[in-house]
Amino acid sequence: MSAHVAVKDLRITAGGKAIVDGVSFEIERGQVLALIGESGSGKTTIALALMGHSRFGATISGEVRLGETRVDRLDDAGLQALRGRRVAYVAQSAASAFNPSRTIMAQVTEPLLVHRLAGKEEAEARAVDLFRALALPSPETIGARYPHQLSGGQLQRLMAAMALITRPELVILDEPTTALDVTTQVEVLKAFKVAIASVGATAIYVSHDLAVVAQMADSILVLNQGRTREQGAAEQVLHAPADDYTRTLMGAARPHARSAPAVVGKEALLKVEGVHAAYGKVPVLRDISLSLAKGATLGVIGESGSGKSTLARVIAGLLPRSAGSVSLAGEELPKGLEGRSREQFRRVQLVFQNADTALNPVQTVGQALARPLAFYHGLKGAAAEAEVARLLDLIRLPAHLATRNVRQLSGGQKQRVNLARALAARPEVLLCDEVTSALDTVVGAAILELIDELRRELGIATVFISHDISTVRAFCDQVLVLYGGTAVEQADAAAFGRGVHHPYTDLLTDSVPEMRAGWLEQARTRKAVLAGESGDDLCRFLPRCPVAIAGTCNAAPPPLRSGDGLALLCHHELHDLEGMSA
Amino acid sequence: MSRFASFAKSLPLSGRIGLSLVLFWLAVALVGPAVAPHGVGAFVDQDVFSPVSSAFPLGSDYLGRDVLSRLLWGARYTVFLGAGAALLACLIGTTLALTAAVRGGWVDEVLSRAMDTLISIPSKIFALVMVAAFGSSLALLLTITAITYVPGNYRIARALAVNVVSLDFVTVARARGEGGLHVALREVLPNMIHPLLADFGLRFVFIVLLLSGLSFLGLGVQPPYADLGSLVRENMSGLVDGAPAIVMPALAIATLTVGANLLIDALKPVEKQG
């Protein structure tokens, strides 16, 4: 029997430029092919071509075969019958893929009803079965809810339910877990794997995350700029890559510890003591204390909503703290922006996550960099120009880029400019808020190395906010783990490496996929002991904690356990936790 | 001049047409009275609504006056009063909108409610009261039309500005310690200039219509002077005969407003350049 899906010499061109150039592959029935590559490599374009769809009015040529059907030769009516019925698509951001004004059930059953494959009752029964297979909470009633009442991970699984409900032959998953927290990602991946297997569909998994791909794929196709770089069984590509580009990707996926330790000053430069902050009446930070010396790096980790970005905003004064103090070199900073002197502004600089929105789109690179120079240092004319050139050299961009508009830069270049603008102030504290999470792995790794190098050369104290625990572990001298606005664990690098952790840190560590097949099956998902219990003073992690002690954890606030460079909030003794982490 | 030439060259065809129409009407407004063959109120034709002839290139109007001369005299009111009022309205509206968006809080609240109040006053009645109180004059007409169109511009500019203010680069500027003026003029305004220009073009057309409406009520430009709108109004009865006296001023308004809008649309939105 020939392959279920066959693509031969696929070429997709837009405006005379080839986005995909001569890609061929075959997938056997029930197998999963992963398309990996950086952004702009054409992986999503290929995936969409399998549904006969092309973006930006691009033209598709070559052969796309699904079973006995030549997808590339179908007319509009033929494509309409194909889409949603034989081929289904799961998009990256489920939150924006659902219609907010209709119930989940109406949207999940829609493909069945549109293609007249089932009546309303049968469709709803099938949907509930899928909800159960995808391990969604209260499968019988979840359909009556609206998208805004559900979490991102739940929506992503519901999106899969919508795709799988017609029992399609081919499912296309386009970066379905990229927008999710690591802890959620594990659950979603598990649910996907089970559900796809139960329907018996062939799947194409588009991703830039090699470790995730290792869990899902039978074979892998590595793409770069629309061309195939390497193609083969998952095991071979991941563990014995033949192509240089694949090896680069693999190298970037594993952050290696920095080469030389930083020269860290003795005295605390930035001191945060007992800081509380709230959005309106909702508390987002509770009693955060930290101290950071010149040249040191503090990693702040936590899931979305843990308050890690808020911490940076509070230090920068964008969100006035409601209690506590923030001081810089012994001098207390005013709560909000008002009352801070220009010098105080200069010493603390914030680098935003998304360089696309953090740079003013009407400015040139030179203008963006010259403003802080003029504002803080009064540099104008030739002196400013020379300094801009020096900054561009520092971030390893060619000097002629100064006259370019920021929109003409690539994502990585923008993030470098974003960083350079902060450095132009000659800051003492640099707050980096998820600066690499919007970038490709290779580009992100280069930015990280750049930050680390600059920090060492310029002696800047860095607060490095990230959701990626392995990056933080490799780059930081101190680690702060936030959960629900509380610092559940705080440790220096050596103590953090010893393996005694708060149960939440353990959960985070266990959720990072490893680059080997079978990890997903072995990954522990330990059930919470006291699910549903929470209180204002109690441990914030209690509703999700797998090792909570009934009668203690739900009765009293967790005590502070500290020793040898480590401090964490837990009812368990440190030596007990050591056993649990192992 | 070479800068202007390269600017004109950068425009698409529609933009060049718009630019030449606008320049033509500006020239007419400036030198019109000097080259007009007759005085603005001179009765020179025995007949009314006479067709195009060598003596009267655009015919004569309902009182037997030369339409070409009246057009040449009238263009300045429409161009300068219309454009002036539109400019004034947009300037005031956008300034207030930027203040509201950048300051936020109670400043925004007070300004927005004040504008809502202004919107609720019918513009014609407002004009009527003002003219009754102060008597018609060009300065008053300018003020009235500008005030009438401030709230509309404010609403649009504020909506645009609020969107821009929520973007990260504005937060970055604030965290840098920048003052409100820099944030408003350097960070926010350049990102909303194109929709604002389109709004200006739209308001200009509205103001031409409001002015002619006021002239119809006898509150606008006072006879024997007339702006283009009142030329159309006063020759209304010539419509059944298809007299050039009504067609020509209407054509004049059309070419002026279409020209202005073509030019504005051809100015590339900043975010799509390069």
A582: three-class secondary structure by DSSP:
coil
- Checking if the pLDDT of A63 tops 70, the result is yes
Across the A:B interface, residue pairs with CB atoms under 8 Å apart total 54
% of chain A exceeding 70 in pLDDT: 96
Q: What is the pLDDT of residue A581?
A: 59
CA distance A433 to chain B (A): 12
Question: Taking 70 as the threshold, does the pLDDT of residue A164 lie above it?
Answer: yes
- What pLDDT sits at residue B268? 64
Q: Is B174 an interface residue toward A (CB < 8 Å)? A: yes
The confidence score (pLDDT) of residue A255 equals 64
Task: Please tell me the distance from the alpha carbon of residue B144 to that of residue B126, in angstroms, as a whole number.
Answer: 8
Band of the pLDDT at A85, cuts 50, 70, 90? confident
A539, A541, A542, A553, A556 from A535: Cα distances, Å: 8, 10, 9, 10, 10
CB contact under 8 Å between A361 and B172, yes or no, is no
CA distance to A257, A508, A564, per residue, from A287 (Å): 31, 22, 22
Distance of CA A383 to the CA centre of its chain: 40
B179 contacts in A (CB within 8 Å)? none
- What does the pLDDT read at residue B273? 42
Q: How far is B178 from chain A (nearest CA, A)?
A: 8
Mean pLDDT confidence for B134-145: 86
- Give the pLDDT confidence of A339-393 residue by residue, as tens digits: 889 889 999 999 988 888 899 988 999 999 999 999 999 888 899 999 999 999 8
Distance, CA of B256 to CA of B250 (rounded, Å): 10
Q: Do A357 and B169 touch (CB under 8 A)?
A: yes
How many alpha carbons lie under 13 Å from residue A379 in its C-beta half-sphere?
Answer: 19
Interface test with A, best of B168, B186, B194 (most A CBs within 10 A): B168
Using CA atoms, how far residue A432 sits from A301, B118, B176, in Å, is: 12, 46, 15
Q: Which domains does chain B have, with CATH numbers?
A: 21-29+59-268 (1.10.3720.10)
Q: How many CA atoms lie within 13 A of A457 on its CB side?
A: 10
From B166, B201, B216, B204, select the one nearest B187 (Cα to Cα): B166
Q: What is the mean pLDDT of residues B51-75?
A: 82
The ipTM of this complex is 0.77
B168 at A interface, C-beta within 8 A: yes
Nearest-by-CA chain A residue for B166: A357
The pLDDT value given to residue A259: 54
Please report the pLDDT score of residue A422 as a whole number.
Answer: 92
A208 touches A235 (CB < 8 A)? no
A391-422: pLDDT as tens digits: 998 888 888 888 888 888 888 888 889 999 99
Facing A357 at nearest CB: one of B168, B177, B190: B168
Best residue of A309, A362, A421 to probe chain B, by most B CBs closer than 10 Å: A362
Is B272 at the interface with chain A, CB within 8 A?
Answer: no
Closest-CA residue of B relative to A405 is B274
Mean pLDDT of chain A: 85
**C-alpha distance from residue A322 to each of A309, A536, A546 (Å):** 16, 17, 33
Residues of B in contact with A346 (CB under 8 A): 177
| DSSP reduced 3-state for A461 | strand
Q: Which residue has the higher pLDDT, A470 or A173?
A: A173
Is the pLDDT at B93 greater than 90? The verdict is: yes
CA closest to A339 among chain B residues: B177
pLDDT tens across A423-474, in order? 899 899 999 988 887 777 777 888 888 888 888 888 889 999 988 888 888 8
* pLDDT mean over B148-152: 91
Name the residue in chain A with its Cα closest to that of B176. A345
Nearest-neighbour CA in chain B from A332: distance (Å): 17
Contact call for A345 and B175, based on CB within 8 A? yes
Nearest to B274 among A371, A372, A407 (CB): A407
Instruction: Choose among A316, A345, A362: nearest Cβ to B191.
Output: A362
Specify which of A571-580, B41-50, B114-123 reaches the highest per-range mean pLDDT: B114-123
- Cβ atoms within 10 Å, residue A115: 15
Helices and strands (DSSP H and E) totals, chain A:
23, 22
Strands A429-433 and A461-466: parallel
Q: Cβ separation of A359 and B274 shorter than 8 Å?
A: no
Chain B residue nearest residue A315, CA to CA: B175
Query: Which of B102, B176, B194 has the highest number of chain A CBs within 10 A, making it the mutation to test binding with A?
Result: B176
Residues B175, A362: C-beta atoms closer than 8 Å: no
pLDDT at residue A257, as a whole number: 61
Q: Which of B169, B175, B274 sits opposite A360 (nearest CB)?
A: B169
Contact A417, A395 (CB under 8 A): yes
Name the pLDDT band for A542 (thresholds 50, 70, 90): confident
Of A131, A209, A149, the residue nearest A511 (C-alpha): A209
Determine the distance in angstroms separating the CA of A426 from the nearest CA of chain B, rounded to an integer.
12
Residue-level pLDDT at A500: 80
Task: Give the dihedral of Cα atoms A50, A54, A58, A62; nearest 10 deg.
Answer: 10
Q: Does B114 touch chain A (CB under 8 A)?
A: no
Contacting residues of A for B191, CB less than 8 Å apart: 360-362
Q: Which residues in chain B are contacts of A316 at CB distance < 8 A?
A: 175
Helix (H) or strand (E) segment spanning residue A568? strand A566-569
| B192 at interface of A, judged by CB pairs closer than 8 A | no
* pLDDT value of residue A388: 92
Return d(Cα A154, Cα A188) in angstroms, integer: 8
Most confident of the following: A282-296, B48-62, B200-214:
A282-296
pTM to 2 decimal places: 0.79
Is pLDDT of A305 > 90? Answer: no
Predicted pLDDT at A369:
92
Mean pLDDT computed over A506-525: 80
* A318, A360, A408: residue with CB nearest B274: A408
Q: How far apart are CA A569 and CA A138, in angstroms?
A: 32
* B235 min Cα distance to partner chain A (Å): 49
Tens of pLDDT, residue by residue over A209-265, are: 888 888 888 999 998 888 888 888 888 888 888 888 888 888 777 766 655 556 667
Nearest by CB to B169, from A346, A359, A372: name it.
A359
Of A342, A357, A360, the CB nearest to B177: A342
What are chain A's domains? 5-253 (3.40.50.300), 268-497 (3.40.50.300), 508-581 (no CATH)
User: A372: which chain B residues are within 8 Å (Cβ-Cβ)?
Assistant: 176
